[in-house]
Structure 1
Amino acid sequence: MKRVQNPQICHGHSRPIVELAYSPVTPDGYFLTSASKDGLPMLRNGANGDWIGTFQGHKGAVWSCRLNSTAMLAATASADFSAKVWDAITGDELHHLEHGHIVRTVQFAQQTSKLVTGGYFQQRLRIYDLQKMDSEPATVRDVPDKIRCAAWHQNDALLLTSYTDQPGIGVWDIRTAGLVKTLATGKEVTSIEISQDGRYITSADGTEVRFWDGERLEPIKVFSQPYSVESASFCPEKGRFVAGGGDMWAHLHDYETGAELECNRGHHGPVHTIRFAPGGDSYASGSEDGTIRIWETDYALKTENGEAPAAPAVNGS
């Protein structure tokens, strides 16, 4: 008999969680950040979800929170018309980046010292050099719509963007500030993820989970779901992808066939964000209910093989 998985439940946020992001593996392990409408982005141990600290200083909802490749710096994007850069060890604010309207997304480049921000109503990408913060940021101004997501790609030469009211993923060359191409989707893209090796791009739009060739920027496959998909994440090492959305469940799928392997229930609101941990042994989901739940990827396989399920851990701030 298949056992129901009891995830690790991470409390601490008082309002919906809108973005989760894992750091790469560092000498100190890996970490998980969460952005929430409560305005208090948090840092956690990525392996067990234990709370480490809260970045305090924003005066509005925080839409995005990211760590750099060494997990030494954090960046946040907020509805208070600002982005901030933090010391992820001490929690101190290092830079306050004023914007003219809501900042929706922020992300560190992986191989350079750059940081990108983008947001609502100001249809531009701002690219900051963290080693030259006294200088004005470079900008990409011809973005056709309000920006929802941004992701660095191909050795930080390209930026992938999605929009609030327009389908597709824009591919921008930051060297020329020009649009290279648009990856066509049926609906507005609510989630973009690039695999660590850059070989795969995973996106969610409407009821579709799409996979793209990261080098050729061409579609590989698409799987339709019977619910609205807000976020999706792919683990090439496991050959699995996860998706979450309006039905409040965390779905685990086989990448080759799209078959659903597990449907994990427990959230009490839509799943706005879902991401695999490095290596793919677990994945985290964040919901309208204000909780983060960390699920084991191979839980069903382990229990079918006779291993007793571990007692669930409840983590608080």
Structure 2
Amino acid sequence: LTSIRRCEFSEDGKRLLGVTEKRTGQLSNIVVYDIDNSSPDAPQPSEPTLRIVVDELPRVTVAGFSYLSKYIITGHENGSVAQWDAKTGELLNEVYSHEDGMAVTDLQWSADRTYFLTASKDKTAKLHDTNTMEVLKTYVADTPLNSAAITPEPTNYVILGGGQAAMDVTTTSARQGKFEARFYHKVFEEEVGRVRGHFGPLNYVAVSPDGKCYCSGGEDGYVRVHHFDPPYFDFKFEVEREREARTGAVGY
């Protein structure tokens, strides 16, 4: 046996994915189980319906199902991102989205899972098309990133979290350690604001499905829940306001 590094449900909740740790004598595996969630007492399978042995790629750090469980997307310790057939386990595509040797630390989806966001130790987060694996947008930070989340429509933001390495935190102030959650415009790739509060690196950020709040978990041992004020929903770039005035459309 080896440890599990990541667990994810499919969009419909009927499949469960797990990523096993690469250790001496054992390769990293992606295992998929078809689960019965009809009742708490329903029997569950003891063997996976799919096992992908990751022998030709570096260790898997993050993974998840795409829309309709068509693909499994994985991020790796060398900064690459891979696309697998979720039925056969065939490797379909591999792209080197992040700087070589800089691990992918998080992978989160848009609401419809047609695109996804990766965070990396190379101080960037990148928005990818699920089908083509093309990098659509790049968000550049000034610190290694541990997590990145996408806000649901009608807002157009991504939230990034990271900070100075935990081993160096004791000698660093919160400002110098860059322990803020960073907000970027999803389309224009520009940073629009930061939220302080943690006094250690942010290890994870997540947005509520209704988009009304987000939470951040830090190395300091706290989970902070932030509720968005009305100005957050009203903020628009000038080009967005002009477009809405011209077409009557909301969003981008």
- Taking structure 2 as the reference length, what is the TM-score of the superposition? 0.74
Q: CA deviation at 1:301?
A: 4.6
| Residues 34, 45 of structure 2: 8 Å contact kept | no
CA distance, structure 2, for counterparts of residue 302 and residue 217 of structure 1: 30
Please list, as runs of the form range in 1=range in 2, the aligned pairs for 1:3-152 lying within 5 A after superposition. 100-111=1-12, 113-121=14-22, 122-131=27-36, 133-137=44-48, 138-143=50-55, 144-152=57-65
Q: CA deviation at 1:221?
A: 1.2
Structure 2 SS opposite 1:155? helix
Match of 1:214 among 115, 119, 130: 130
Q: Which amino acid is 1:149 matched to? A: V
| Residues 119, 146 of structure 1: 8 Å contact kept | no
Q: CA deviation at 1:236?
A: 4.4
For the aligned residue pairs, the C-alpha RMSD in angstroms reads 2.2
| Residues 152, 209 of structure 2: 8 Å contact kept | no
User: 1:190 and 2:105 equivalent?
Assistant: yes
User: 1:249 and 2:180 equivalent?
Assistant: yes
- Could you report, residue by residue, the CA deviation over 1:142-189 in whole angstroms, capped at 9, with x for unpaired residues? 3523221110013112111112x3211111112221111013222321
- Could you report, residue by residue, the CA deviation over 1:260-311 in whole angstroms, capped at 9, with x for unpaired residues? 222111101100111111132211111101111112334655899xxxxxxx
Q: Which amino acid is 2:47 matched to? A: E
More helix by share: 2
Structure 2 SS opposite 1:124? strand
Correspondence for 1:223:
139
CA distance, structure 1, for counterparts of residue 142 and residue 200 of structure 2: 17
| Number of aligned positions between the proteins | 204
Q: CA deviation at 1:214?
A: 2.6
CA distance, structure 1, for counterparts of residue 114 and residue 52 of structure 2: 25
Q: CA deviation at 1:244?
A: 0.7
| Residues 126, 138 of structure 2: 8 Å contact kept | yes
Which 5+ residue runs of structure 2 have no aligned equivalent? Answer: 37-42, 164-177, 236-252
CA distance, structure 1, for counterparts of residue 137 and residue 146 of structure 2: 18
| Residues 210, 222 of structure 1: 8 Å contact kept | yes
More strand by share: 1
Structure 2 SS opposite 1:141? strand
Match of 2:119 among 199, 204, 210: 204
Correspondence for 1:173:
85
Q: Which amino acid is 1:244 matched to? A: G
User: 1:281 and 2:212 equivalent?
Assistant: yes
CA distance, structure 1, for counterparts of residue 220 and residue 58 of structure 2: 29
- Taking structure 1 as the reference length, what is the TM-score of the superposition? 0.60
- Could you report, residue by residue, the CA deviation over 1:223-255 in whole angstroms, capped at 9, with x for unpaired residues? 211111111111241011111101211112222
- Could you report, residue by residue, the CA deviation over 1:36-66 in whole angstroms, capped at 9, with x for unpaired residues? xxxxxxxxxxxxxxxxxxxxxxxxxxxxxxx
User: 1:160 and 2:61 equivalent?
Assistant: no
CA distance, structure 1, for counterparts of residue 79 and residue 12 of structure 2: 29
Structure 1 SS opposite 2:221? coil
Q: Which amino acid is 1:255 matched to? A: K
Which 5+ residue runs of structure 1 have no aligned equivalent? Answer: 1-99, 305-317
CA distance, structure 1, for counterparts of residue 28 and residue 185 of structure 2: 37
Structure 1 SS opposite 2:69? coil
Structure 2 SS opposite 1:262? strand
Structure 1 residues 215, 279: CA separation in 2 closer, same or farther (over 3 Å shift)?
farther
Structure 1 residues 242, 298: CA separation in 2 closer, same or farther (over 3 Å shift)?
farther
Structure 1 residues 117, 300: CA separation in 2 closer, same or farther (over 3 Å shift)?
same
Give me the identity figure in percent. Answer: 23
CA distance, structure 2, for counterparts of residue 299 and residue 112 of structure 1: 33
Correspondence for 2:172:
none
